[in-house]
Amino acid sequence: MTMKQIVMILSALLVMSCCSDEIQAQTNYETMTTKMYITIDGRTETVTLVINSATQALVAKLKEAPVTVTLNSSGGFEIWGALGFSLPTSNEQINAQPGDVILYSGSNICMFYGTNSWSYTRLGKIDGLSTDELRTFLKAGQSNISVTLSLNNTTGINAVKSEEIKDKSSLQSKASETEFTLNGTLAPAGYKGVVIKNGKKYLDKGKA
């Protein structure tokens, strides 16, 4: 083996090592237990947030109230737009991947369905969606996309509360129609005499 070949092999190994270090640096982030929720057109997905000053400030902001922003597709790889407020930055060269949620220039949020390399502050990653699913969820290629950021899955909670209200209303309605005898027992069908219904006494002449 010639000296030239040895130098070329060593150079290749050095490049591979640098690339490996870069990949490791981009994936080795400590994450929060607190999840952020992204709701678009009635559909909600979760985001695992990394721990840094930007995400801590964002969580504090979302504890006050959910934030709704209008985002637009850009470059064939992301939707992005102004948050309406600024967050602390810790910019670094990041090779953003599908699902990444990124802070750009301190006051813009970017959500990726493709890839791009730039100086960003990482916020987190959308959980569990494939690239095709991300493109659908993030409405790739569209404009004026209304996106709500929150710390609670409000769509699910509202649905549960709505069903609970319906069930309670139905039970109350049935209870108000129930008849009892003066002894406190349920009045059978065809019962004749004084009954108590909805807290009041009535004379029931019987039912056919």
My answer on whether 152 and 197 are in the same domain is no
My answer on whether 71 and 114 are in the same domain is yes
My answer on whether 96 and 37 are in the same domain is yes
- Range list of H helices, the chain: 3-27, 53-64, 131-137, 154-177
Helices (H) and strands (E) in the chain, counts: 4, 12
- Establish if 30 belongs to a structural domain: yes
Number of structural domains the chain divides into: 2
Question: What pLDDT, on the 0 to 100 scale, is given for residue 193?
Answer: 76
Show pLDDT as tens, one digit a residue, over the chain (208 residues): 666 556 566 666 554 554 444 444 444 679 999 999 999 999 999 999 999 999 999 999 999 999 999 999 999 999 999 999 999 999 999 999 999 999 999 999 999 999 999 999 999 999 999 999 999 999 999 999 999 999 988 654 444 444 554 555 554 555 556 776 666 667 777 777 776 666 666 666 664 4
Q: Residue 144 belongs to a domain with what CATH number?
A: 2.40.100.20
In angstroms, the CA 40 to CA 3 distance is: 59
Q: Are 140 and 79 in contact (CB under 8 A)?
A: yes
My answer on whether 115 and 207 are in the same domain is no
Residue range of the domain that includes 206: 178-208
Angle of CA points 69, 75, 81, to nearest 5°:
15
In angstroms, the CA 127 to CA 44 distance is: 11
- Establish if 129 belongs to a structural domain: yes
My answer on whether 71 and 122 are in the same domain is yes
The type of residue at 11 is: S
- Establish if 79 belongs to a structural domain: yes
Beta bridge partners, 122, equal 102
In angstroms, the CA 152 to CA 35 distance is: 8
My answer on whether 194 and 144 are in the same domain is no
> By three-state DSSP, how is residue 67 classified?
strand
Q: Say if pTM beats, i.e. exceeds, 0.95.
A: no
Exposure string of 47-58, with b = 16+ CB inside 10 Å and e = fewer, is bbbbebebbeeb
Question: What pLDDT, on the 0 to 100 scale, is given for residue 132?
Answer: 97
Q: Identify which of 19, 16, 44 has the alpha carbon closest to the alpha carbon of residue 117.
A: 19
My answer on whether 111 and 192 are in the same domain is no
Question: What pLDDT, on the 0 to 100 scale, is given for residue 59?
Answer: 96
Q: Identify which of 201, 161, 157 has the alpha carbon closest to the alpha carbon of residue 182.
A: 201
Q: Are 179 and 187 in contact (CB under 8 A)?
A: yes
The type of residue at 193 is: G
Chain centroid offset of residue 55 CA: 15
Going by C-beta distance under 8 Å and a sequence separation of 6 or more, which residues neighbour residue 101? 36, 38, 47, 109, 110, 111, 112, 122, 123, 124, 125, 126
My answer on whether 71 and 125 are in the same domain is yes
**Tokens in use for 102?**
């990124």
Question: What pLDDT, on the 0 to 100 scale, is given for residue 206?
Answer: 61
My answer on whether 128 and 82 are in the same domain is yes
My answer on whether 152 and 199 are in the same domain is no
- Establish if 69 belongs to a structural domain: yes
**Tokens in use for 96?**
């953003």
